[in-house]
């Protein structure tokens, strides 16, 4: 006869089998989205100094990376274009060029037929000579002009065969504008996954160095959300749902677990992705070594926590290593 008055939680922690049975949060390769930085080659593969374990890819190296991702069970990749400065101009017109590195990579991956879902990040900072996320007039970002350029860029990505477009510049009206442009162009099956809750964060540093898109004087505070404003982030998620978003991204995930949890609690009706950003990735790799058992354990803990908070998908530079450990 048990006289104890306290609740015995430990009964369900006794063995690996019982712990597996009661596990609340799953983490599998299909939840992970692999970022890929693509450019024109040669060289075909260049390690990115600020993102250890991540390479800048061109040509055949893109297909090799897709094969490596496919082999460990990954189902989706997120493409970032890295352009030579001679292809950039103040209006970012290379974004509408069907021969830009992102469009070429999309065509190549689609011809490669692994069934991999291809998501393309879309922000003008990848294409503008000044590095700002939009067209700049008198030191300010011109929302309407930027939207017009993004609409052309979105149709350009759709023509190349992209599955999902992830607009990351957080201009107002982006989702509605891109949805209309895609539908008008006959691309109603291309999905939109905006960075709806995107905070103006210091944790993007290694990414910016890697993508060669750091503007001198940042205007990010004029379009990204200030870190203390959780209600504003939730409002933006709901605005993007209304405008026709199919999924949303919350970024940085590690400092926005409350946003993921609240959005889920309040019934966010579309899948959410958490972005495990570069400023959290790099120190872990630097201290523990890529794919070491210690690094794997810490990474899986973080990824599980982002899922626990409410993310369906996670964008992470550790996708291949984590998927290998999980499969
Ligand atoms: C914008 C973009 C950024 C990141 C992803 N998309 C940079 C920014 O918003 O300034 C950062 C991701 C990371 O730090 O890992 N194209
Ligand atoms: Zn940008």
198 is catalytic: yes
pLDDT > 90 in the chain, percent: 91
Confidence band, pLDDT 50/70/90 cuts, at residue 1: low
Mean pLDDT of 296-300: 97
**Does 12 reside within a domain?**
no
Question: The CATH number of the domain where 104 resides is what?
Answer: 3.20.20.70
Q: How far is the CA of 97 from the centre of ligand 1 (A)?
A: 22
Tell me the pLDDT tens digit for each residue of 159-176: 999 999 999 998 999 999
The answer to the question of residue 186 being in a domain is yes
Reported as a single tens digit per residue, the pLDDT across 54-96 is: 999 999 999 999 999 999 999 999 999 999 999 999 999 999 9
In a domain, 14, yes or no: no
Find the mean pLDDT for residues 222-248.
97
In this predicted model, what pLDDT tens digit does every residue of 90-149 receive, in sequence order? 999 999 999 999 999 999 999 998 899 999 999 999 999 999 999 999 889 999 999 999
Phi, psi of 171 (to 5 degrees): -80, 150
- Containing domain of residue 116, as a range? 26-326
Closest listed ligand to the CA of 79: 1
Q: Is 231 within a domain?
A: yes
Residue 280 CA: which ligand is closest?
Answer: 1
> Are the CB atoms for 249 and 312 separated by under 8 Å?
no
Active-site position among 75, 88, 236, 251: 251
Ligand of minimum distance to the alpha carbon of 120: 1
How would residue 218 be classed by pLDDT, with cut points 50, 70 and 90? confident
- 22-56 per-position pLDDT tens digit: 999 999 999 999 999 999 989 999 999 999 999 99
Atom number in ligand 1 closest to CA 126:
16
DSSP string, 16-85: HHHHHHT------GGGEEEEEEE---SSSEEE-TTSTT-EEE-THHHHHHHHHHHHTT--EEEEEE---G
Give me ligand 2 centre to Cα 208, in Å. Answer: 10
Q: Is the pLDDT of residue 213 over 80?
A: no
Asked if the structure places residue 3 within a domain, the reply is: no
Is the CB–ligand 1 distance for residue 276 below 6 Å? no
251 is known as an active-site residue: yes
Structural domains of the chain, count = 1
| CB 127 less than 6 A from any atom of ligand 1 | no
**Rounded to the nearest whole angstrom, what is the distance from the C-alpha of residue 231 to the centroid of ligand 2?**
23
**SS3 of 144, please?**
helix
Is residue 17 in a domain?
no
| Residue 216: band (very low, low, confident or very high) from pLDDT cuts 50, 70, 90 | low
Q: State the pTM of this model.
A: 0.96
């Amino acid at each position: 006869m048990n006289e104890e008055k306290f609740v015995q939680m430990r009964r369900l922690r006794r063995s690996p089998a019982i712990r597996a049975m009661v596990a609340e949060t799953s983490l599998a390769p299909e939840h992970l989205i692999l970022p890929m930085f693509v450019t024109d080659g040669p060289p075909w593969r260049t390690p990115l100094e600020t993102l250890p374990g991540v390479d800048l890819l061109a040509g055949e190296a893109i297909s090799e990376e897709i094969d490596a991702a496919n082999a460990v069970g990954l189902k989706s990749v997120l493409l970032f274009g890295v352009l030579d400065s001679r292809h950039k101009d103040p209006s970012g017109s290379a974004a509408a060029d069907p021969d830009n590195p992102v469009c070429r990579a999309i065509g190549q991956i689609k011809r490669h037929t692994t069934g991999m879902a291809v998501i393309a990040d879309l922000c003008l900072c990848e294409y503008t000579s000044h590095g700002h996320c939009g067209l700049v007039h008198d030191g300010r970002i011109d929302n309407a002009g930027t939207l017009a350029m993004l609409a052309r860029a979105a149709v350009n990505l759709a023509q190349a065969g992209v599955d999902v477009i992830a607009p990351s510049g957080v201009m107002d009206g982006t989702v509605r504008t891109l949805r209309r442009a895609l539908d008008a162009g006959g691309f109603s099956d291309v999905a939109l996954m905006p960075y709806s809750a995107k905070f103006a964060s210091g944790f993007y540093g290694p990414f910016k160095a890697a993508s060669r898109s750091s503007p001198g004087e940042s205007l990010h505070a004029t379009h990204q959300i200030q870190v203390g404003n959780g209600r504003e982030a939730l409002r933006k998620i709901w605005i993007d749902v209304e405008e026709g978003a199919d999924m949303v991204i919350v970024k940085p995930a590690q400092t926005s677990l409350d946003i993921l949890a609240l959005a889920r609690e309040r019934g966010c009706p579309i899948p959410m992705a958490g972005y495990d950003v570069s400023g959290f990735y790099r120190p872990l790799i630097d201290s523990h070594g890529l794919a070491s058992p210690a690094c794997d354990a810490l990474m899986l803990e973080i990824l599980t926590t982002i899922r626990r908070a409410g993310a369906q998908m996670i964008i992470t530079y550790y996708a291949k290593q984590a998927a290998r450990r999980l499969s």
